[in-house]
Amino acid sequence: MLYFTALTFGLLSSLHCIGMCGPLALALPGVPGTGVGYWLGRVLYHAGRATTYAALGAVFGMLGLGAGLAGYQQQLSIAAGVVMLILLLLYSTTGRTLPGIQGLNKLTQRMLGHLLGSKTTPATLYGIGLVNGLLPCGVVYVALAGAVATGTVWGGAAYMALFGLGTAPLLFAFTVLGGKLSHLRQWNPLLRYAGVVVALLLIVRGMDLGIPYISPKLQPETGLPACCRVKQATPAAQTSQCH
C-alpha cells in the first residue's frame, strides 16, 4: 500500500511538475518526432530524475532504518505523516517548504545551464535529469517524508523511484506536445489532497491498528509484523511463522 501511494502521489505531482520542470523539459535539445534519438533522450532525462530521487530516497530510508532498529518504527511513521502535513501546509500557504535552499537552487541552475550548452549526447540528457532531480521542490520534500517511513534503504529508494516514475507520463506528454497541456495546472489542488491522504495513511500505519496492509500489528521490540512474533520457539518454527 505504501508503494502504491508513492506512485499515485507521483502521478498527481506531475500537475505541479509541468509548471516547475516543464520549461526545462521543453528546453531539452532535439526536434519532436525526429527519430529514435529524440525519444531515447527523453527517456534518459526522466531516468536521470528517477535515479536522483531513488538516491535521495535511499539516504532518507537509511534514517528511517536507524529509527526502526531502535524500536521506533511506529513513532517514525506517525512523525513522517505529521511532517508531511506540515510541509503541505507550508507549501500551500507560502509556496515554500524549507528555508536556506537558495544556494542549492543557484548551484543546480548553473549546472543545468552548463549541461544545456554542452554537446547533445545521451550522457548529457541523462545528466540533465540527474541535476533536475536536485532542484529544490516542495513536492519532493513531501515525498521524502514517505521514504523515511519505509524504514529501509532499499524501501526508501523504491518509494522515491516510484514517485519519480509517476511524475514522468504527464511531463513526457507535456514536452512532446510542446506545452499544450499547461491548462492542467488548474487541477494542482488535487496534489495537496493526495498529499494529505498519504500523510494520514502514514499516521494510521504507525498506530498499530491491526489493519492488513494499512496498519499492520508490529512487534514493539523489532518493528516486525505480528506474524513474526515467537515465544520459546525453535529456529525452524520461527522461520515457518514468518513466511
pLDDT per residue over 149-188, tens digit each?
888 899 999 999 999 999 998 888 887 776 566 666 665 6
Q: Give the pLDDT score at 59.
A: 93
Q: Give the pLDDT score at 75.
A: 78
Q: Give the pLDDT score at 234.
A: 46
Model confidence, pTM = 0.72
Look at residue 104 and tell me whether its pLDDT is greater than 50. Answer: yes
Report percent pLDDT > 90 for the chain. Answer: 16
Q: Give the pLDDT score at 243.
A: 44
Q: Give the pLDDT score at 225.
A: 47
DSSP-assigned letters across all residues of the chain: -HHHHHHHHHHHHHHHHHHHTHHHHHTSSS-TTS-HHHHHHHHHHHHHHHHHHHHHHHHHHHHHHHHHHTT-HHHHHHHHHHHHHHHHHHHHHHS--SSS-HHHHHHHHHHHHHHHTS---HHHHHHHHHHHTTS--HHHHHHHHHHHHH-SHHHHHHHHHHHHHHHHHHHHHHHHTTSTTGGGGGGTHHHHHHHHHHHHHHHHHTT---BTTTB--B-TTT--BGGG--SS--HHHHHHHT-
Q: Give the pLDDT score at 33.
A: 57
Chain mean pLDDT for the chain? 76
Q: Give the pLDDT score at 3.
A: 83
